[in-house]
Amino acid sequence: MSFINPDEDKLQEECGVFGILGHPDAAAFTALGLHALQHRGQEASGIVSYDGKRFHSERHFGLVGDHFTDAATIERLPGNGALGHTLYSTSGETVLRNVQPLFAELGTGGIAICHNGNFTNARTLRNRIIASGAICQSTSDTEVVLHLIARSKEHNSGNRFTDAIKQMEGAFALVAMTTTKLIGARDRLGIRPLVLGDLDGAPIFASETCALDIIGAKFVRDVKNGEVIIFEQEMDGSISQKSIMPFEPANERLCVFEYVYFARPDSIVSGRSVYDVRKRMGSVLSDESHVDADVIVPVPDSGVPAAIGYAHQSGVPFELGIIRNHYVGRTFIEPTQSIRALGVKLKLSANRGQIEGKRVILIDDSIVRGTTSTKIVQMIREAGASEVHMRIASPPIIAPDYYGIDTPHSDQLLANRVADVAEMCEFIGADSLSFLSINGLYNAIDGEDRNDAAPQFTDHYFTKDYPTRLTDLEGNFALGQASLLKEAG
Amino acid sequence: MSFINPDEDKLQEECGVFGILGHPDAAAFTALGLHALQHRGQEASGIVSYDGKRFHSERHFGLVGDHFTDAATIERLPGNGALGHTLYSTSGETVLRNVQPLFAELGTGGIAICHNGNFTNARTLRNRIIASGAICQSTSDTEVVLHLIARSKEHNSGNRFTDAIKQMEGAFALVAMTTTKLIGARDRLGIRPLVLGDLDGAPIFASETCALDIIGAKFVRDVKNGEVIIFEQEMDGSISQKSIMPFEPANERLCVFEYVYFARPDSIVSGRSVYDVRKRMGSVLSDESHVDADVIVPVPDSGVPAAIGYAHQSGVPFELGIIRNHYVGRTFIEPTQSIRALGVKLKLSANRGQIEGKRVILIDDSIVRGTTSTKIVQMIREAGASEVHMRIASPPIIAPDYYGIDTPHSDQLLANRVADVAEMCEFIGADSLSFLSINGLYNAIDGEDRNDAAPQFTDHYFTKDYPTRLTDLEGNFALGQASLLKEAG
Amino acid sequence: MSFINPDEDKLQEECGVFGILGHPDAAAFTALGLHALQHRGQEASGIVSYDGKRFHSERHFGLVGDHFTDAATIERLPGNGALGHTLYSTSGETVLRNVQPLFAELGTGGIAICHNGNFTNARTLRNRIIASGAICQSTSDTEVVLHLIARSKEHNSGNRFTDAIKQMEGAFALVAMTTTKLIGARDRLGIRPLVLGDLDGAPIFASETCALDIIGAKFVRDVKNGEVIIFEQEMDGSISQKSIMPFEPANERLCVFEYVYFARPDSIVSGRSVYDVRKRMGSVLSDESHVDADVIVPVPDSGVPAAIGYAHQSGVPFELGIIRNHYVGRTFIEPTQSIRALGVKLKLSANRGQIEGKRVILIDDSIVRGTTSTKIVQMIREAGASEVHMRIASPPIIAPDYYGIDTPHSDQLLANRVADVAEMCEFIGADSLSFLSINGLYNAIDGEDRNDAAPQFTDHYFTKDYPTRLTDLEGNFALGQASLLKEAG
Amino acid sequence: MSFINPDEDKLQEECGVFGILGHPDAAAFTALGLHALQHRGQEASGIVSYDGKRFHSERHFGLVGDHFTDAATIERLPGNGALGHTLYSTSGETVLRNVQPLFAELGTGGIAICHNGNFTNARTLRNRIIASGAICQSTSDTEVVLHLIARSKEHNSGNRFTDAIKQMEGAFALVAMTTTKLIGARDRLGIRPLVLGDLDGAPIFASETCALDIIGAKFVRDVKNGEVIIFEQEMDGSISQKSIMPFEPANERLCVFEYVYFARPDSIVSGRSVYDVRKRMGSVLSDESHVDADVIVPVPDSGVPAAIGYAHQSGVPFELGIIRNHYVGRTFIEPTQSIRALGVKLKLSANRGQIEGKRVILIDDSIVRGTTSTKIVQMIREAGASEVHMRIASPPIIAPDYYGIDTPHSDQLLANRVADVAEMCEFIGADSLSFLSINGLYNAIDGEDRNDAAPQFTDHYFTKDYPTRLTDLEGNFALGQASLLKEAG
């Protein structure tokens, strides 16, 4: 048993995006917005600003708080428009060249763009573009959008942008900035979230409302699924707004995992408090699978809201039976072999006083490979629990994602590796194990069962029901990859 | 209003100490132990090991997890004995020279030493030592102990150590290592904690039990107040143990703030679960000062256990109404002026769904200057709370510490700046404010009122009742400081 | 008077290039070759390797010796083909994105390219390419070549390369690597040097022979002006060679400044030892302008060979009357104002024993702005020289370069700021000043006068006679620059 | 054959020292002085300043130019007195704790001290001091001086200093600073150099005159052998000077290797220009051992002045037949094995045009192990020399140093490993090899033969004639070392 890192066996969101137009502190606010979105990507971050004459860019590996907090950096990003991005990185290797925002010089002036999500036809388009004589310098799928914009026959940059994204399949929340415009767009189904905010008249796009809260900006509304919103700054400084719906109409199908794990608990996603939804997941989970116990213990931090809801519903006391050490956030650990064998706990430790001699219900948000769950159950047993019951506030994960979430190969998912929940329980070593049902999940969010004919959410993780075509997966794009450049940094 | 850092207006513990003898992974375990004690000092850390021939040392500014996690560093610290220290630094400027463990070459061989606490006669002794022809190279008070050991007429290193500490007043948990011995000692009143553990026969000293838990070591017992425990490794590798009580007998008077704030909630201090004590503080606080409310909201992370206890006792639901962003742990922030004025929230954000339109009881562990409380109350009001009641799980702080805790000047303490609790309430902008009474505090810990004739704990923060002489404070040691060396790095 | 940096008032060569195919240590040898070419660019360096499947890249700001000397870095660059570049940077701002080799994914596979020189029609072509829907991500002119290669209708990568460079005007020594080929090319006039070497059958291209010497490679021949040499590795590992002359025939017109200052003294450029040429410059200079003196003192290091030649010819002893401190090579110095005023000498100091009371002839290779010369003359006077005569081993510089050399604006050149050599002499404060004549320069190189009808060398610095069209300069490409991205790093 | 580093097979000077009193730019000038003394120690450097109230210190590993060149660092060193040191480090492991200036708090106020040289009785004294109850925290011998000062019964800090150094044997140039005084001292024989300078009334001590030249300070005189000079700043800012001769009178016996290699060529040491002395060494060397040849080639940089003298005397032309690449100054190189075998030349390269087909006389200043000489001879042969004659401008080195110079073990010295000069010649692979005779050396310096009864210089390297007792060497101080602390950083 190696170190317990409660985050390493989670699905990882790829990115957070932020853009603002018409505020003298544009870059500073973007840095703060990205800091609030840090949970959506910790590998790298970048900001591009435009000062009326030139674009300026700073891109760095590491946390926003490590690189964008001093006045000198912010001063290198002048202008009243700015765009920012935090990166986790799945498609495209992690090289500084791939760190967003990406930038291109077009005939109509420069454009910077950043992207949360994943295109399911990017490689197919990329091969086509290269074949026609273009050059690709990054391995980022987002570069494809830039090429499509560059090749559009439209004259107006807003129209060129719309022209380009109409060719894209998959999931995307895009924010772009030109010399006069700030553009936000969400894919046809609204798989990835994007909200519109306002700070003293300056429009803002952000992945989540928590990025508005940190700077005191007002939440205006969600960008709609399939909507392109274009803000344009006129000569006199005034800002006009335009909304376009370039796609065929469709109902929203937001990614359900935003509620399960990705979004911050204090964000409001599609009109729902994430914290409240998670408490209700815990509450429904209690209704579906409660057993007699002495204490409800969350796996921190992601299991806490569901555990509060579960405890409230079941009447069993909620206790911090596991303490999380927040000092290791960003450290690479390379222990000696003898220590690796010991099973030490760098991030989590059992709070023995709440565990010893007790029947414990552990609450976690999800199980991916099951490796961390196994270690946590063992730690709780070693701390003297008489029984350990694991309750998971979402259904078993059985299918990978292709919309910007880092998922392990299908055969690494615990639910696929063993026959049933009973064997999963055996694997993690618990006395019992239950998952929230798919209808339980839908009810916790919306008060209704899943509409199997027209599901309200993107939920392929649990159902294998992918909401879009998977063009690249169907095609053969391996050839184009043969000579991709790998760069260390 | 500048950034809200919930930790910056807390009293800060100075140090954590750890020592182990007779284990081949001594340095690696010491690194892990220090990691678990990181909350007791984040400025610097150091480890000294002894390999039978030589002492080896690594001392670094920054977190344990930044400097002691790779195999190469651990390999530079060979040997089966090791000593480690995390530093916050109050007395003595923070220079690498002052980072512990300190080391000295004595006639009887080398000795390394580390210290949690503060001597109240160190400067007096220091001036005396310098006057007699010794040289002091650090500004650390701990160096004085080394001088006293060096000057002792005793021949045995254990006796020399005991000889030295008998001259020291104040608070100390000391761990020392010589070429054959590991020594742990606690001051006569046991103001600072120190526990004895065991890992497969290898004895361990540590500030708190959480440092034993992380490496799977067994808790043996607390080192007693006024006790010196000496482990000696014989030629055949066996380890003998000896306990000495060199001081005049006294009842233990542990620092009460270990329960209020310093110790980790999963530690057992003097036989009591810190988490349980804090829950009881919340429970008693509820009994003493509850008001009608809709929700109990802790100031994370330190207010959480008391809030759970308070919620349980009052029956009002516990909710994470404030979300803490853990990504900024170690970042220095230098915002632009316009942003500073905005009151942005880098570490804490209101979870609006739990606050809006509600009567909120905020639970925090203590109020020092009151600056952070003011910002938090304002943030909760801006999130739409209809009422904000602040409840503090300890009494008002009215006196500085001289035993190793970083306290502001007496006139910066909010309780000293205004007339009474009503004015404190007005200062922080709450609708009501209550503190746990001193007897409430004692009852939460022990089930008994304070014995004013012979108080069970060190509690001068709340009572001005200092448990020892304050020799340096009485004397005039300003002269000796005139030419102290200030070193930047 | 601020610090004397003898290099800061020199014309600066832009780049050094190196490529090798078919050797298992390709990247390591490229690193060594670049190290030998470090004098051609100290701002950044990059290496791309190809391992039969993938391209690998490492690009860094700073010296080769700072980033490419450890085994780990070299191991990240596997394969038997490699390409490397050192950068000084004139056109295109210095951002990591612009650091070469540049890479592009083409329909026919990847290609990496690096460039020494400057295209005089790059911006014109760039605007045309952008207008047609391509995107440019760097501000480097070299990217234009990649676009032209991508757009070529040819099917073979060698032909596509040739197709592309036929459209380029100006000066270039290009080395490119595809999945099977190593390509070297020199512009029609051979303005920038490029040599062909061989190491155990592995072909090498390098800017100068010193890069062959460092790895023990054999010098084969110069790449001819206007020649493209293509090496192709067959399936069986054998390497074929092909030479193409795609341009209209022309006589070589090598940049004369390679002899004056750029090339390393131990290099053989176009068949001539640079050291020997410089000694002959000193010898002719003595013939043209000798005055009675006691000592010949070079301005180190660039003036040394000419001073040796001058001393030998004149019979006046050569002495190291100025000592160069080599410890400051790469340090940025920001002194306090009061020190700036003092005129301290961080890099050069007078060797008083050789100067005091003596008539000194100072030998330098060139005068650009004259600022450093002024300081050096003053330093020599302060060291007690009775007379100071400055002799320059090249003619006065009167025109800027557009072929990859960083020259100040025309009106900053000392020769343009004052009326004649007498006023230049007054400006630098010497007792007399003489320059080598243009025919003296040609004679020192070749034993013949300049052929004004068909000059043997590129010498516009001294004559304003530019050997190619200056298309960008004639056109208006300012528009395209309006929104160029500026990136700090 | 591995890389040729012409410096790695040299004797290495341990330290440079600098001190100044009474100038507002004290620290900045000290930084510049240390920069000029960088050749005397490149591992670490430190500056201590005193601002009238406090001492301030900055100590760093690395070059002066890397750490002391920005205004911020200099501002952290306020005051009109400053002391600086550059370190090579021989005795005492290289840990930041050992980097000088060392500082101690005494009863009479603080004192900072720095030292060039080595005490031959430091360990003996150290053991005595430790036995009497003092503690030693560094492994630097200089700390012993601090202890002796602290223990002195004198009341005046100047007298205490004198009291202390009277107990020291060996070689030392010491500079110390107290709250009011700047003190310079040289050992009884003046083995290590120390000069006195003046800048606008502010007295300066420095190891060499080049440190005065860089800041435009006036050379006043050498500190005499056995002299202590004490400057004291009065209340009114005026500075008084006192000279004490505390040792038994003796003739100066300066270390002859200062002339051979250590000192910078532009320094004046004991009244002689180092450059001139080295030229005369070359000249006498030519008289003693010239052979017919075509060219005189120095091993750069240390062999250059002697080669100029040799060429002048012999009439054979001086040429830069070896080019030194100055870009690798501070880089650690870890090549792959296959490259190591190649014999590449990172620092030196043959200038083939001056070597090929020629009879070459190589001039170097000394041979220590002979490893570098072997590689250089091979490189010259590979460049096509028809004959290679090595001429060394000093006698064979046969004995180690104990006065602050890093010498290899006696049995590693080439002169001790083989029978005679003929075998040394064979070892390095030259056609002939000759050394300057000991009388030739003395004549080059002073025009007189060595006075064997009372040698004019310290020359044990060549004669085994040590000028002082070697107390530590005679005693047994190994015991005291057993538990010395080894610290990595």
Under 8 Å CB-to-CB from A316, ≥6 apart: which residues?
A: A293, A294, A295, A296, A310, A361
Peptide bond into A24 cis (omega under 30): no
* Three-class HEC string of chain D: CCCCCCCCCCCEECEEEEEEECCCCHHHHHHHHHHHCHHHCCCEEEEEEECCCCEEEEEEECCHHHHCCCHHHHHCCCCCEEEEEEECCCCCCCCHHHCCCEEEEECCEEEEEEEEEEECCHHHHHHHHHHCCCCECCCCCHHHHHHHHHHCCCCCHHHHHHHHHCCCCEEEEEEEEECCEEEEEECCCCCCCCEEEEECCEEEEECCCHHHHCCCCEEEEECCCCCEEEEEECCCCCEEEEEECCCCCCCCCCECHHHHHHCCCCCEECCEEHHHHHHHHHHHHHHHHCCCCCEEEECCCCCHHHHHHHHHHHCCCECCCEEECHHHCCCCCCCCHHHHCCCCCCCEEECHHHCCCCEEEEEECCCCCCHHHHHHHHHHHHCCCCEEEEEECCCCCCCCCCCCEECCCHHHCHHHHCCCHHHHHHHHCCCEEEECCHHHHHHHHHCCCCCCCCCCCECHHHHCCCCCCCHHHHCCCHHHHCCCEEECC
To test the contact with chain C by mutation, choose from D276, D313, D327, D333 the residue with the greatest count of C C-beta atoms within 10 A, namely: D327
Q: Are the CB atoms for A215 and A32 separated by under 8 Å?
A: yes
Residues of A in contact with B36 (CB under 8 A): 325, 349
Q: What is the pLDDT of residues D34-58, one digit of tens each?
A: 999 999 988 889 999 999 988 998 8
Please judge whether A487 and C58 are an interchain contact, meaning their C-beta atoms are less than 8 angstroms apart.
Answer: yes
Torsion of CA B26, B32, B36, B41, to 10 degrees: 80
pLDDT at A110: 87
Q: Which of B57, B484, B486 is facing D485, going by the closest CB pair?
A: B57
Of the candidate ranges A42-56, A261-275, D266-280, the one whose mean pLDDT is the lowest? A42-56
pLDDT at A108 exceeding the cut of 50: yes
In chain C the domains, ranked by start, together with CATH numbers, are 12-253 (3.60.20.10), 272-452 (3.40.50.2020)
User: What tokens does D156 get?
Assistant: 């005046």
Residues of B with catalytic annotation? 15
Using DSSP's 3-state secondary structure scheme, residue C333 falls into coil
Q: Are the CB atoms for C255 and C403 separated by under 8 Å?
A: yes
DSSP conformation letters of D283-319: HHHHHHH----SEEEE-TTTTHHHHHHHHHHH-PPB-
Residue range A149-178: mean pLDDT, rounded:
93
User: Any idea which residue has 């890992």 for tokens?
Assistant: B199
Residues of D in contact with C341 (CB under 8 A): none
ipTM of this predicted structure:
0.90
Number of neighbouring beta carbons within 10 Å of residue C103: 26
Under 8 Å CB-to-CB from A48, ≥6 apart: which residues?
A: A55, A56, A57, A77, A82, A83, A84, A101, A103, A112, A177, C485
Peptide bond into A301 cis (omega under 30): yes
Of the candidate ranges A422-436, A467-481, B163-177, the one whose mean pLDDT is the lowest? A467-481
User: What tokens does A244 get?
Assistant: 């376009």
Residues of C in contact with A152 (CB under 8 A): 133
Please judge whether D134 and B146 are an interchain contact, meaning their C-beta atoms are less than 8 angstroms apart.
Answer: no
Element (H, E) at A162: helix A157-165
Residues of C in contact with A99 (CB under 8 A): none
Q: Are the CB atoms for C28 and C76 separated by under 8 Å?
A: no
Count chain A–chain C contacts defined by CB atoms under 8 A. Answer: 129
Residue D15 falls in the annotated catalytic set: yes
Residues facing residue A405 across a β-bridge: A13
Q: Which of D70, D318, D334 is facing C318, going by the closest CB pair?
A: D318
Residues of C in contact with D345 (CB under 8 A): 213-214
Residue range D299-316: mean pLDDT, rounded:
96
Number of neighbouring beta carbons within 10 Å of residue A410: 14
Q: What is the pLDDT of residues D90-122, one digit of tens each?
A: 544 445 566 789 888 877 788 999 999 999 999
Q: Are the CB atoms for D164 and D202 separated by under 8 Å?
A: no
Cα gap C467→C455, rounded to integer Å: 9
Q: Are the CB atoms for D361 and D293 separated by under 8 Å?
A: yes
Integer angstrom CA distances of residue B297 from A211, B310, B311, B315, C361: 22, 10, 9, 13, 84
Q: What is the pLDDT of residues B340-392, one digit of tens each?
A: 555 557 788 999 999 999 999 999 999 999 988 999 999 999 999 999 999 99
Cα gap D2→D345, rounded to integer Å: 8
Q: What are phi and psi of C72, to 5 degrees?
A: -60, -45
Cα gap D7→D303, rounded to integer Å: 11
pLDDT at A95: 57
Mean pLDDT for each 10-residue chunk of chain C (489 residues)?
A: 56 86 94 92 90 88 80 87 84 59 82 93 89 78 90 89 95 96 97 97 97 94 98 93 96 97 96 97 98 97 96 97 76 53 71 96 96 92 97 97 87 94 97 98 97 97 95 63 40
Work out the end-to-end distance of chain C between its first and last CA atoms, rounded to an integer number of angstroms.
32
Number of neighbouring beta carbons within 10 Å of residue D200: 9
Residues of C in contact with D49 (CB under 8 A): none
Reference C335, options D73, D80, D57; nearest CA is D73
CA distance A291 to chain B (A): 21
Using DSSP's 3-state secondary structure scheme, residue B440 falls into helix
Q: Which of D58, D130, D488 is facing B76, going by the closest CB pair?
A: D488
Q: Are the CB atoms for A359 and A294 separated by under 8 Å?
A: yes
pLDDT at D178: 95
Integer angstrom CA distances of residue B282 from B351, B396, C424: 22, 15, 86
Please judge whether A214 and B345 are an interchain contact, meaning their C-beta atoms are less than 8 angstroms apart.
Answer: yes
Please judge whether A339 and B28 are an interchain contact, meaning their C-beta atoms are less than 8 angstroms apart.
Answer: yes
pLDDT at D42: 83
Element (H, E) at A184: strand A181-186
pLDDT at D31 exceeding the cut of 60: yes
Least CA distance to A152: which residue of chain C?
C133
Cα gap C35→C37, rounded to integer Å: 5
Residues of D in contact with C375 (CB under 8 A): none
pLDDT at D61: 78
User: What tokens does C272 get?
Assistant: 């001539």
Q: Are the CB atoms for D39 and D13 separated by under 8 Å?
A: yes
Number of neighbouring beta carbons within 10 Å of residue D486: 13
Q: Which of C58, C107, C150 is facing A488, going by the closest CB pair?
A: C58
Using DSSP's 3-state secondary structure scheme, residue B266 falls into coil
Q: What is the pLDDT of residues D425-483, one digit of tens each?
A: 999 999 999 999 999 999 999 999 999 999 999 999 999 999 999 998 887 544 333 34
Under 8 Å CB-to-CB from A166, ≥6 apart: which residues?
A: A246, A247
pLDDT at D92: 44
Q: Are the CB atoms for B197 and B30 separated by under 8 Å?
A: no
Residue range A248-259: mean pLDDT, rounded:
96
pLDDT at A327 exceeding the cut of 50: yes
CA distance C235 to chain A (A): 17
Q: Are the CB atoms for B445 and B457 separated by under 8 Å?
A: yes
Reference C36, options C219, C263, C194; nearest CA is C263
CA distance A66 to chain B (A): 6
Q: Do chains B and D touch (3 or more CB pairs under 8 A)?
A: yes
Cα gap A26→A81, rounded to integer Å: 5
Distance, CA of D292 to chain centre: 35
CA distance B216 to chain A (A): 7
User: Any idea which residue has 């709070």 for tokens?
Assistant: A351
pLDDT at B5: 56
The strand order across the sheet containing C432-435 reads C295-298, C359-364, C387-392, C432-435
Q: Which of B54, B76, B487 is facing D484, going by the closest CB pair?
A: B54
pLDDT at D251: 96
β-strands A359-364, A387-392 pairing: parallel
Q: Are the CB atoms for B187 and B117 separated by under 8 Å?
A: yes
Q: Longest Cα pair distance anywhere in chain B, in angstroms? A: 72
Q: What would you report as the CA-atom Rg of chain B, rounded to the nearest whole angstrom?
A: 23
pLDDT at D350 exceeding the cut of 90: yes
Reference D76, options D99, D54, D93, D91; nearest CA is D54
Share of chain D above pLDDT 70, in %: 89
pLDDT at D88: 76
Q: What are phi and psi of C481, to 5 degrees?
A: -85, -10
In which residue ranges of chain B is pLDDT below 50? 1-3, 91-94, 329-333, 477-489
Q: Are the CB atoms for B9 and B373 separated by under 8 Å?
A: yes
Cα gap B258→B280, rounded to integer Å: 15
CA distance D393 to chain B (A): 43
Q: What is the pLDDT of residues A87-106, one digit of tens each?
A: 875 544 445 566 789 888 87
To test the contact with chain A by mutation, choose from B323, B333, B381, B382 the residue with the greatest count of A C-beta atoms within 10 A, namely: B323
Cα gap A146→D191, rounded to integer Å: 72
Reference C362, options C380, C348, C338; nearest CA is C380
Using DSSP's 3-state secondary structure scheme, residue D447 falls into coil
DSSP conformation letters of B46-73: EEEEE-SS-EEEEEEES-HHHHS-SHHH
